[in-house]
Amino acid sequence: MATETVGTPASLASGNTKVYRNFIDGEWVESSTGETFEDRNPADTREVVAIFQKSGKDDVNAAVEAARLAFERWRLVPAPRRAEIVFLAAEMLAERKEEYSRDMTREMGKVIKETRGDTQEAIDTAYYMAGEGRRMFGPTTPSELPNKFAMAVRHPLGVCGMITPWNFPMAIPSWKLLPAIVCGNTCVIKPAQDTPLSTFNLVRALVDAGLPKGVINIVTGFGASVGGPLTEHPEVRAISLTGSTAVGRTVGVTAAKSFKHCSLELGGKNPMIVLDDANLDLAIEGGLWGGFGTTGQRCTATSRIIVQKGVYREFVDRYVARAKKLKIGNGLDETVDVGPAINEAQLKTDLSYVDIGRDEGAKLACGGNRLDKGDYQYGFFMEPTVFIDVDSKMRIAQEEIFGPVVSILPCDGLEDAIEIANGVEYGLSSSLYTRDVNKAFAAMRDLYAGITYINAPTIGAEVHLPFGGTKATGNGHREGGIGAIDFYTEWKSVYIDYSDKLQRAQIDRPE
């Protein structure tokens, strides 16, 4: 067992299906429960991509203990040295990009050009965070007293727990793990049960780059039996979750009880506004990419398109015509535009919103059906679906669906559009198509969301800018760039008095 590396787990199953064990303290360890689960291809469920451990509380405890011990050594490794490992991992990820992206399409379903983008996002994050090893700036500032020096330095927190989603199975773990380790923390990660392989691939690159044992530990399994104990564990100092608003509420409440740092990236209902003066070709192109890219399974997905009345009909007709032409299928086929839903439950949710929309009186302009003939029968495929003439009060215009279902709403102008855009419980991403610079700047100010795009859809955030949202999208933290460094460190203020006498702050006031 000890001779295995992250990339070559011993096969416990017959045939070619790999069985991954948990990765704890640099060793491959079977779960304490003795149970496993299958990672199946959502485009063809006959294919078992790999088998993973169905872990429990004891496994979490073992991983946290390993991380706790590793922290005592890792925090003392100079940050530039820690960052060199991350830099080397970036180079390895770049070399392995095609292999890891294909693995990701097989386990997650999204089309290969998008999984290449997901792997690239992890590479970008690695290069950025490797640079942070030589920055991690803090303020030095004058003291109010003579012969006294004052500064603030960043300290790591200790053991950090990460709970990651299936829709960006390498990028999002990288957003969390890489800043955490560059800052000197150690980690226990629970990847989504639908897509653990991509986390193993990411960590494999880090281990091959020289990451010491215990710095990152992987415990696979389900929310209640792994995510719960990780969030409750008294030795875990920070929890970072990307997931649904419902799970975020539970994790936030649980983490607060032991005063953990807690970063929540949750749901979205992202609006794209198209004004009469917009470049319609561009807006249609953007709305298709934002709405149906990743099968609509991004928290940044363009799920509402709010179109000014002067161009509404033309936009709707052309958008729907294009949506009908999107090619649906197995993401390994380079010509496919839209892959499957991640699993049966998600597909059912997506289809249930078709009924909800119809019942509410929205007009179904295209799609709405499951595809289950021929090769489609083995996967979770659905037609790209567009509702038009949607009212902003309707559930399909308010609730996060996380599937290929787009609602188009008419509006009178920018003011009306912004009111509709802001009138939901979420505030992640937003977008405006216009050629009028005054309107663009007004929207940048008035759209209440963590991200605003002008003349681009709501997806496509870059890793060095803050990522996160307002209201029920999160709890005020930001991932990406400096926001991540802020989350994975805490400040220590340091005062050095070299006057050789007692100097009392606020009391002694030298001339």
Contacting positions for ligand UN1 (CB under 6 A): 121, 167-168, 242, 298-300, 459-461
Minimum CB distance to ligand UN1 smaller for 101 or for 300: 300
Say which residue the tokens 């929540």 belong to: 264
What is the nearest approach in angstroms of ligand UN1 to the Cβ of residue 348? 21
Burial class of residue 4, CB neighbours in 10 A (0-12, 13-18, 19+): middle
Q: Which two tokens stand for residue 203?
A: 């960590």
What is the nearest approach in angstroms of ligand UN1 to the Cβ of residue 294? 7
Burial class of residue 499, CB neighbours in 10 A (0-12, 13-18, 19+): exposed
Minimum CB distance to ligand UN1 smaller for 54 or for 298: 298
Could you give phi then psi for residue 51, rounded to 5 degrees? -120, 140
What is the nearest approach in angstroms of ligand UN1 to the Cβ of residue 80? 28
Minimum CB distance to ligand UN1 smaller for 186 or for 300: 300
Minimum CB distance to ligand UN1 smaller for 122 or for 160: 122
Active-site entry in 160, 299, 366, 411: 299
Q: What is the dihedral of CA 6, 8, 11, 12, to 10 degrees?
A: -20
What is the nearest approach in angstroms of ligand UN1 to the Cβ of residue 463? 8
Distance CA 266, CA 272 (A): 19
| Among candidate residues 91, 112, 85, the one with its CA nearest the CA of residue 100 | 112
Minimum CB distance to ligand UN1 smaller for 92 or for 172: 172
Apex CA 462: angle with CA 49 and CA 163, to 5°? 45
Minimum CB distance to ligand UN1 smaller for 184 or for 243: 243
What is the nearest approach in angstroms of ligand UN1 to the Cβ of residue 268? 8
Minimum CB distance to ligand UN1 smaller for 39 or for 114: 114
Task: Give, for 311, the enclosing helix (H) or strand (E).
Answer: helix 309-324
What is the nearest approach in angstroms of ligand UN1 to the Cβ of residue 456? 11
Distance CA 179, CA 79 (A): 11
Buried b (16+ CB within 10 A) or exposed e, 56-85: bbebbbbbbbbbbebbeebbebebbebbbb
Active-site entry in 265, 383, 400, 479: 265
273: three-class secondary structure by DSSP: strand
Apex CA 224: angle with CA 219 and CA 226, to 5°? 15
What is the nearest approach in angstroms of ligand UN1 to the Cβ of residue 37? 23
Task: Give, for 305, the enclosing helix (H) or strand (E).
Answer: strand 302-308
Residue 299 appears among annotated catalytic residues: yes
- DSSP per-residue codes, 116-184: HHHHHHHHHHHHHHHHHTT-----EEE-SSTTEEEEEEEEE-SEEEEE--SSSTTHHHHHHHHHHHHTT
| Among candidate residues 182, 181, 124, the one with its CA nearest the CA of residue 464 | 124
| Among candidate residues 490, 489, 483, the one with its CA nearest the CA of residue 125 | 483
Minimum CB distance to ligand UN1 smaller for 174 or for 300: 300
Q: What pairing do the DSSP bridges indicate for beta strands 261-265 and 426-427?
A: unpaired
Residue 160 appears among annotated catalytic residues: no
Q: How many residues does the chain have?
A: 511
Minimum CB distance to ligand UN1 smaller for 22 or for 125: 125
Q: Does residue 171 come out as left (phi exceeding 0), alpha (psi in the -120 to 50 range) or beta? A: alpha
What is the nearest approach in angstroms of ligand UN1 to the Cβ of residue 361? 30
Q: What is the dihedral of CA 299, 300, 305, 306, to 10 degrees?
A: 110
Minimum CB distance to ligand UN1 smaller for 244 or for 250: 244
Active site residues: 265, 299
